[in-house]
A and B are shown apart, each in its own frame.
Chain A
């Protein structure tokens, strides 16, 4: 059975701090790993990673994948209160199937 584990489950930081969120996976026929941000309702897409070692960046957020060690990290620098959300990691895997297997998420709270 495919498995995605995120850590920590929750995190409280002060504005301006840098945070690192972790995601490890055990799946068959890995294709891609995705990060989403969920504030109130719809998870919003952040990154899709398919190749090891290539960092993806968007503003203060960046992410990298290690396919040998089966994990990914999401970094957020100079955190702001608007970064408070649940960050979800998901993996697309399996022969002929394209659904996502999600971790339980990391709840990030950024306090002023």
Chain B
């Protein structure tokens, strides 16, 4: 069974640009979660999608947004990139609520 897949592996952008990160959940999983892992800060919750709807978001500015497609894959968009957005962005999926989340390898976003 294929795990959670994320693309691209690395992304290099400059300040003010926009970035799009993609995530395909494990087959059959309908919930997708996005987390940011910045140096020294640990994993912080960004967004949760379930059945195509945004269910909850963490303490991040509106520059961070996303969506979930009918096939349950998801996209995270970050607008007006700032240096502090440099981090590893991890996507996780779960089969149903109250089940463990399984993570992808992440996208390393570097802002120059």
**Would you call B105 and A42 a contact (CB within 8 A)?**
yes
**6 pairs of residues in contact across A and B, judged by CB atoms under 8 Å:** A41-B105, A43-B103, A48-B100, A98-B31, A99-B48, A104-B41
**Would you call B103 and A97 a contact (CB within 8 A)?**
no
B66 within 8 A of partner (CB) = no
0/1 per residue, B71-93, Cβ < 8 Å to A?
Answer: 00000000000000000101000
Choose among B33, B42, B90, B98 the residue that contacts A99 (Cβ–Cβ < 8 A).
B33
B45 within 8 A of partner (CB) = yes
Q: What total of A-B pairs shows CB separation below 8 Å? A: 59
Q: Which residues of B contact A43 (CB under 8 A)?
A: 43, 90, 103
A25 within 8 A of partner (CB) = no
Q: Which residues of A contact B56 (CB under 8 A)?
A: 96-99
0/1 per residue, A68-106, Cβ < 8 Å to B?
Answer: 000000000000000000001010100011111111110
B106 within 8 A of partner (CB) = yes
0/1 per residue, B31-75, Cβ < 8 Å to A?
Answer: 101010000011111001000000110100000000000000000
B112 within 8 A of partner (CB) = no
Interchain nearest-CB distance for B88 vs A (Å):
8
B101 within 8 A of partner (CB) = yes
B13 within 8 A of partner (CB) = no
Give the docked Cα–Cα distance between A73 and B58 (Å). 27
In this complex, how many residues of chain B approach chain A with their Cβ under 8 Å: the count is: 27
0/1 per residue, A38-54, Cβ < 8 Å to B?
Answer: 00011111001000000
Give the docked Cα–Cα distance between A67 and B3 (Å). 32
B97 within 8 A of partner (CB) = yes
A57 within 8 A of partner (CB) = no
- Whether A101 touches B45, Cβ cut-off 8 Å, given contacts A42-B4, A42-B90, is yes
Q: Which residues of B contact A48 (CB under 8 A)?
A: 99-100
Interchain nearest-CB distance for B4 vs A (Å):
7
- Whether A99 touches B45, Cβ cut-off 8 Å, given contacts A31-B98, A32-B98, is yes
The 10 closest A-B pairs by CB, nearest first: A41-B105, A99-B45, A102-B43, A104-B42, A42-B103, A42-B105, A45-B100, A43-B103, A97-B56, A48-B100
